[in-house]
Amino acid sequence: MPPILTSRRLVYANSKWRAYADDLRGDGTSVKGYLVVEPVHAGPGMVTGVAVLGEADGRFALLHNHRHPLGQRSWEMVKGFIDEGENPADAARRELTEETGLVCGPEDLVPLGSFTPEGATMAARGLLFLARRCRPDIAATPGAAPGKDGADEIEIGLGATTLFDLGTVERMADNSEIEDAATLIGIYRALAWLKRECRETTPNTSS
Q: Which stretch binds its own copies (CB under 8 A): 98-106, 118-126, 133-141, 197-205?
A: 118-126
User: Considering CB under 8 A, how many residues would be counted as binding its own copies?
Assistant: 65
Nearest CA to 113 among 51, 42, 198?
51
Strand pairing partners for 63? 76, 161
Q: Say how many C-beta atoms besides its own lie within 10 A of residue 32's C-beta.
A: 11
Should residue 162 be labelled a site residue for its own copies when binding is judged by CB under 8 A? Answer: no
Question: CA 147 to CA 119: how far, in whole Å?
Answer: 30
Q: How many residues does the chain have?
A: 207
For its own copies, give the closer residue by CB, 56 or 60.
60
Among 42, 47, 123, 145, binds its own copies (CB under 8 A): 123
Among 77, 92, 169, 184, binds its own copies (CB under 8 A): 184
Which distant-in-sequence residues (6+ apart) come within 8 Å of 74 by Cβ?
64, 65, 66, 67, 179, 180
Should residue 87 be labelled a site residue for its own copies when binding is judged by CB under 8 A? Answer: no
For its own copies, give the closer residue by CB, 74 or 162.
74
Question: CA 167 to CA 61: how far, in whole Å?
Answer: 13
Q: State phi, psi for 25 to the nearest 5 degrees.
A: -125, 120
Should residue 12 be labelled a site residue for its own copies when binding is judged by CB under 8 A? Answer: yes
CB of residue 57 vs its own copies: minimum separation in angstroms?
Answer: 25
Question: CA 195 to CA 77: how far, in whole Å?
Answer: 20
Binding residues for its own copies, per CB under 8 A? 2-3, 5, 11-12, 14, 16-17, 19, 21-22, 24, 26-38, 46, 65-71, 73-74, 76, 79, 113-123, 125, 153-154, 156-157, 174-176, 179-182, 184-185, 188-189, 192
